[in-house]
Structure 1
Amino acid sequence: MDVFFRSVVGKLWMTIIALFALVLTIFSLLIVQSFDSFYSNRQTKNLQELAEGLSSGLSASENSEGALEMAATFGVVHHTGMIVLDERKNVMGKSEGKGLPDIPVNVLLESPELRVQDALAGKHPAPERLYLPVGTGDQKNPNTSVQIIAVAVPMEYSAGKQGSVVMYQAIEDFDDTVNEVRFLIFVVGVIAFVSTTVFAFFLSSRITIPLRQMKETAHRIAEGDFHAEIPIRTTDELGELAASFNTMATRLNQLVDALSKEKEQLAIVLRSMVDGVVMLDAEGKIALTNPPAERFLRDWKFQYSDEQVPLYDIYQQVVQTGQEVTEDIPLQGRIWTLVMVPVNDREQIRGAVAALRDMTQERKLDKMRNDFVANVSHELRTPLSMLQGYSEAIVDDIVATPEEHKELAQIIYDESVRMTKLVNELLSLARMEAGHVELFRETLELRPYMERIQRKFTNLARERDINLLLEMSTSHSTVNIDPDRMEQVLTNLIDNALRHTPSKGSVTIRARGDKTLLLEISDTGSGIPQEDLPFVFERFYKADKARTRGRVGGTGLGLAIAKNLVEAHGGTISVQSKVGEGTTFTIALSLHTKTNRSVERDDQDHSF
Structure 2
Amino acid sequence: MGDMLLIGLYALLAGTAVAGAGAVVLRLLRGRSVLVHILVLLAVTVLAVVAGVAVVAYAMFLSGHDLRVVLVTVAASAVVSLLVGGLFGRRLAAAAMWARAARERERRLEAGRRDLVAWVSHDLRTPLAGLRAMAEALEDGVVADPATAAEYHRRIRVETGRMTQLVDDLFELSRINAGALRLIPTAVPLHDVVSDAIAGVAPLAASRRITVLAPETGWPVVRAGEPELARVVRNLLINSVRYTPADGTVHIAAGLDRDDVWLAVSDSCGGIPADDLGRVFDVAFRGERARTPSTAAGGGLGLAIVRGLVEAHGGRVGVRNVAGGCRFEVRLPAA
Task: Give TM class, smaller chain.
Answer: 0.5 to 0.7
Deviations 1:203-245 (A, max 9, x none): xxxxxxxxxxxxxxxxxxxxxxxxxxxxxxxxxxx99335434
Q: d(CA) in 2 for partners of 1:363 and 1:579? A: 32
When structure 1 is superposed on structure 2, of 409-418 and 437-446 the one drifting more is 437-446
Q: d(CA) in 2 for partners of 1:374 and 1:431? A: 20
Matched, 1:574 2:321: no
Q: CA offset at residue 453 of structure 1?
A: 5.7
Q: d(CA) in 1 for partners of 2:304 and 2:71? A: 66
Deviations 1:385-411 (A, max 9, x none): 112222333344433533223322332
Q: Which amino acid counterpart does residue 527 of structure 1 have in structure 2?
A: I
Q: Which residue of 1 aligns with 2:257?
A: 513
Deviations 1:576-604 (A, max 9, x none): 44699854444343347xxxxxxxxxxxx
Change (3 A) 1:386 1:529: farther
Q: Which residue of 2 aligns with 1:274?
A: 97
Q: CA offset at residue 481 of structure 1?
A: 3.8
Q: Which amino acid counterpart does residue 240 of structure 2 have in structure 1?
A: A
Which one of 360, 363, 374 corresponds to residue 107 of structure 2?
363
Runs of at least 5 residues in structure 1 that lack an aligned partner in the other structure: 1-237, 277-355, 593-608
Give every structure 1 segment of 4 or more consecutive aligned residues whose post-TM-superposition deviation is greater than 6 Å.
471-474, 503-506, 545-549
8 Å CA contact 2:253–2:264 kept in 1: the answer is yes
| Within-5 A mapping of 1:486-525 | 486-501=229-244, 507-523=251-267, 525=269
8 Å CA contact 1:507–1:523 kept in 2: the answer is yes
Change (3 A) 1:391 1:513: same
Q: d(CA) in 1 for partners of 2:143 and 2:318? A: 50
- Highest Rg: 1 or 2? 1
Q: Which amino acid counterpart does residue 247 of structure 1 have in structure 2?
A: V
Aligned partner of residue 274 in structure 1, secondary structure = helix
Q: Which residue of 2 aligns with 1:422?
A: 166
Q: CA offset at residue 430 of structure 1?
A: 4.0
Q: Which amino acid counterpart does residue 278 of structure 2 have in structure 1?
A: L
Q: Which amino acid counterpart does residue 374 of structure 1 have in structure 2?
A: A
| Within-5 A mapping of 1:218-367 | 240-274=63-97, 357=101, 360-367=104-111
Q: Would you say how many aligned residue pairs link Structure 1 and Structure 2?
A: 269
Aligned partner of residue 97 in structure 2, secondary structure = coil
Q: Which residue of 1 aligns with 2:147?
A: 403
Q: Which amino acid counterpart does residue 231 of structure 2 have in structure 1?
A: Q
Q: Which amino acid counterpart does residue 159 of structure 2 have in structure 1?
A: E
8 Å CA contact 1:451–1:470 kept in 2: the answer is no
Change (3 A) 1:383 1:267: closer
Deviations 1:416-475 (A, max 9, x none): 3333333344345445555555667653544x43663686479949x867784659889x
Identity %: 26
Aligned partner of residue 556 in structure 1, secondary structure = coil
Matched, 1:536 2:242: no
Q: CA offset at residue 527 of structure 1?
A: 2.0
8 Å CA contact 1:536–1:542 kept in 2: the answer is no
Q: d(CA) in 2 for partners of 1:247 and 1:441? A: 64
Q: Which amino acid counterpart does residue 134 of structure 2 have in structure 1?
A: Y
Change (3 A) 1:541 1:246: same
8 Å CA contact 2:252–2:263 kept in 1: the answer is no
Change (3 A) 1:449 1:537: farther
| Within-5 A mapping of 1:126-141 | none
8 Å CA contact 2:276–2:287 kept in 1: the answer is no
8 Å CA contact 1:466–1:501 kept in 2: the answer is no
Relative contact order, higher structure (CA 8 A, sep 6+): 2
Change (3 A) 1:436 1:252: closer
8 Å CA contact 1:535–1:541 kept in 2: the answer is yes
8 Å CA contact 2:318–2:330 kept in 1: the answer is no
8 Å CA contact 2:321–2:327 kept in 1: the answer is no
Q: CA offset at residue 364 of structure 1?
A: 2.0
Change (3 A) 1:369 1:428: closer
Q: d(CA) in 1 for partners of 2:109 and 2:265? A: 27
Q: d(CA) in 1 for partners of 2:171 and 2:197? A: 29
8 Å CA contact 1:510–1:519 kept in 2: the answer is yes
Q: Which amino acid counterpart does residue 269 of structure 1 have in structure 2?
A: L
Say which structure is richer in strand.
Answer: 1
Q: d(CA) in 2 for partners of 1:465 and 1:413? A: 24
Q: Which residue of 2 aligns with 1:297?
A: none
Q: d(CA) in 2 for partners of 1:464 and 1:403? A: 27
Aligned partner of residue 150 in structure 2, secondary structure = helix
Q: Which residue of 1 aligns with 2:128?
A: 384
Q: d(CA) in 2 for partners of 1:471 and 1:256? A: 66
Q: d(CA) in 2 for partners of 1:479 and 1:418? A: 31
Say which structure is richer in helix.
Answer: 2
Q: d(CA) in 2 for partners of 1:482 and 1:466? A: 28
Q: Which amino acid counterpart does residue 575 of structure 1 have in structure 2?
A: G
Q: d(CA) in 2 for partners of 1:435 and 1:250? A: 54
Aligned partner of residue 63 in structure 2, secondary structure = helix
Q: CA offset at residue 378 of structure 1?
A: 0.9
Q: CA offset at residue 381 of structure 1?
A: 1.0
TM-score (norm 1): 0.36
8 Å CA contact 1:471–1:509 kept in 2: the answer is no
Change (3 A) 1:413 1:451: closer
Change (3 A) 1:246 1:364: closer
Q: Which amino acid counterpart does residue 272 of structure 2 have in structure 1?
A: G
Q: d(CA) in 2 for partners of 1:265 and 1:442? A: 42
